[in-house]
Structure 1
Amino acid sequence: MNRRLKNYLSVGIFAFFGGGLRAYLNLIWSQTGTLTANIIGCFLLAFFTYFFVEYREGRDWLVTGLSTGFVGSFTTFSSFNLDTLKQLESGMNSQATIYFFSSIFIGFLFAYLGMLVGKRTGRKLAEKA
């Protein structure tokens, strides 16, 4: 199968699952679902990126599918901004400010943790290979 086609199919298939999981989180937790998805997504994207850099055994289609497909459809910058705007519009300025800055700070923290875990896990697997 053509490499480019394999990447496109991988993105589509993984996006189906990432988007479905995010929709489920939003259904059960509303704004907390968006925050949860974005924080988990920060960790996962950093983990996948650094894991495959260290391990070097990843297939292009798998890396693209997991990062662009799954994580890209699982996280949502637009919903994050819309949630913040809705809070501001409802007069919940303090809550909107806390939501906005905690999302950024916690997201960065989880991306950093994902980087550390991804590097460590990738190195361990590379040493065993």
Structure 2
Amino acid sequence: MGGSSRVTERVPLDVVAVVALGGVLGAEARYGAGRVWSTAAEAFPWTTLTINVVGCLVIGVFLVAITEGRPAHRLVRPFFGTGVLGGFTTFSTYCVDVQRLLNHGQSAKAVGYLALTLAAALAAVAGGAGATRWVLRRGAGAR
């Protein structure tokens, strides 16, 4: 029962606040998308797939833009990257969707959804990052 030897770093309160605010905004956007484009229990979960792929595309663009492009305020990354996009995308709903499909006897659809989400999300983040790098290089070359 000894003390932890790990050193913990205090997270500044302003960072916690912007992550929380961003998380609320991202989760509200996801909830709204789910209400507008709801999915029946046995149907393919297009809404969750779209949310996660769009979130991955945006994080690819965003992280390259703020790390390789123009410097951003120190709170932009935790607000938008961790908060908004973390609240918008949803691994837990992805897992629940797979379980729901399996419970409805849709095992092929569940496996397809697993594979498609993984492939599309990875392609989206890579495509967003690559396209942003290309735009940044073109902009730097024009100067």
Give the letter aligned to residue 113 of structure 1.
G
Show the counterpart of 1:82: 96
Quick check: 23-32 or 61-70, which moved more?
23-32
| Cα distance in 1 for residues equivalent to 2:89 and 2:127 | 17
**Deviation for aligned residue 1:16:** 1.6
What is the aligned-residue identity percentage? 24
One-letter identity of the residue aligned with 2:120: I
Higher helix proportion (structure 1 or 2): 1
1:19 paired to 2:27: yes
Kept in 2: contact 1:14–1:70 (CA 8 A): yes
Please list every run of 5 or more consecutive structure 2 residues that lacks an aligned counterpart in the other structure.
1-10, 39-44
Aligned to 2:119: 105
1:19 CA displacement: 0.6
1:35-74 superposed matches below 5 A:
35-74=49-88
Q: Pick closer, same or farther for the CA change 1:56–1:127 going to 2, 3 Å.
A: farther
Residues 83 and 64 (structure 1), Cα distance of their counterparts in 2 relative to 1, 3 Å cut:
same
Bigger mean CA deviation after superposition, 99-108 or 47-56: 47-56
Query: Structure 2 counterpart of 1:13, which letter?
Result: L
Gaps of 5+ in 1: none
Residue 28 of structure 1 corresponds to which residue in structure 2? 36
> Structure 1: which amino acid aligns with 2:97?
D
The TM-score, its normalising length taken from structure 1, stands at 0.87
Bigger-Rg structure (1/2): 2
